[in-house]
Chains A and B, each alone.
Chain A
Amino acid sequence: MTPHPSAGPAIEFDHVSFSLNGRPLLRDLTLSVDHGETLVLLGRSGSGKTTTLKLINGLRLPTQGTVRVGGQATTEWDLIRLRRGIGYVIQDGGLFPHFTVERNIALVPTIEGWNHERVQARVRELLTLVGLNVNLASRYPSELSGGQRQRVGVARALAADPPILILDEAFGALDPITRSEMQKEFRALQQRMQKAVIFVTHDLREALLLADRIALMEDGRLIVNLTAAEFTKSEHPLVRAYMEAFSGPTNSR
């Protein structure tokens, strides 16, 4: 079984709370993400965004409530199978420093038992897809620029063509120009892929550029869950605070 359902949302949070050592990190979260939809989790550090992502791939399990992926609760999934169906991209790529670019990208297809030719073809296809030269395949991550590493990170997450993609501050470590490039390319890519995407960021601009829906989080709670267009018009004080923080003459980020 893969996290690909015949119908219904790809990911569903049903009154989910999560505490670690008695400290609540997430309170009563309810939201869902459909196939082909991109949800951006927006919020400050410590607002529960990353915890929300880790509840999707079972790195965390809910203290209360249910997280369903492909219609099935994460507590009932074989976590290894669940995770192989979810592409995960983190800040600065999180690449394996001892593997070449090729082996980094090929890891999941290889452990899934794809044959060598198919893996090789897939690596080439993905490098091209994320805008990298195919002859970078034999390089080590340390020999790449930050932007190249991030592209490899995206390629690695897409390797086994998972129906779900989750990204945690994926472009957070990049310089502004590379970052803006990656955001635009990712948006184009995302429109072709039709995956369920959850993208965590604290950057409103990034959120508005990439999101179908924006879920604003604060202190472990979901404040609003709106389409990008609705978000800019919302009168909610916290939304206004975000909009103001990111506008004005010194709008660097």
Chain B
Amino acid sequence: MDFWHFMISNRQQVVELTLEHITLAGVSTLIAAAIGIPLGIVITRIPKLSKLILGGANIIQTIPSLALFGFLIPAPWIGDRASRLAILALALYGLLPLIRNTYAGIQGVDPAVVEAARAMGLTDRQLLWQVELPLASGVIVAGVRIATVLSIGLATIAAAIGAGGLGEFIFRGLAMVNNDVILAGAVPAALLALAADFLLGVLERRLNVLRVKS
């Protein structure tokens, strides 16, 4: 019961680090979405770029997270604050699922529906906003869901460069060889990931109803 004891006596810090963790994962996923979704759209329009962009995002994903944090430290402005650096690194990891799912979602729209839309005289922009994105939305949200869960997990490592978040407890616990302190970081982080996964899963299923309706 030392775990509960630790949680209760440090509840203020638990809340603080949890909020920090949510900020790290949330902001990084938003940035990843703001870049990844447009990139995913671009490669459906310019297929020549798809190998380059998907390949690039794939390579980023293979860099070990601690190494990526290290690589980014010399970057100007970004490297000044640990939290900025952590958010950038996490956003980079989130790119692949977002680009890939946006691309796959749009490519997966029934070609007959796209052709009907073109034949009715929709402009490229109208086709994208009124037909392709709504019909791809379920798959795109699935990408957001993967990126969010990934980011919540990886954000624990951000504490290694002093960016805060629930990783603080984990690293402190490791240093103290105290499992209760490790759990004080790991359990809330796991709960956060499960909650995000569940909520985005609900949204995804709602949007997918549209896709099936044909």
Contact = CB atoms under 8 A, between A and B. Distances in A.
Given A141-B213, A142-B214, A97 B120 contact: no
B120 A84 contact: yes
A98 B112 contact: no
A59 B114 CA distance: 12
A83 B214 contact: no
Interface string B180-214: 00000000000000000000000000000011111
Contacts of A86: 119
A222 interface: no
A97 B135 contact: yes
Interface stretch (B12-20, B34-42, B47-55, B121-129): B121-129
Contacts of B126: 111
B112 A142 contact: no
Given A94-B116, A96-B131, A111-B126, A142 B121 contact: no
Contacts, number: 65
Interface residues of A, number: 25
Interface in A69-94: 79-84, 86, 88, 90, 92, 94
A47 interface: no
Contacts of A95: 113, 116, 214
A121 to B, nearest CB: 20
Interface of B: 110, 112-113, 115-123, 126, 130-131, 134-135, 210-214
26 contacts: A59-B119, A79-B121, A80-B121, A81-B121, A82-B121, A83-B119, A88-B119, A90-B115, A90-B116, A94-B115, A95-B116, A96-B113, A96-B116, A97-B135, A97-B210, A97-B213, A98-B134, A98-B135, A98-B213, A107-B120, A107-B130, A108-B121, A111-B121, A111-B126, A142-B214, A143-B213
Given A83-B119, A97-B211, 14 more contacts: A57-B119, A59-B119, A80-B121, A82-B121, A84-B120, A86-B119, A90-B112, A95-B116, A96-B117, A96-B131, A97-B110, A140-B213, A141-B214, A142-B214
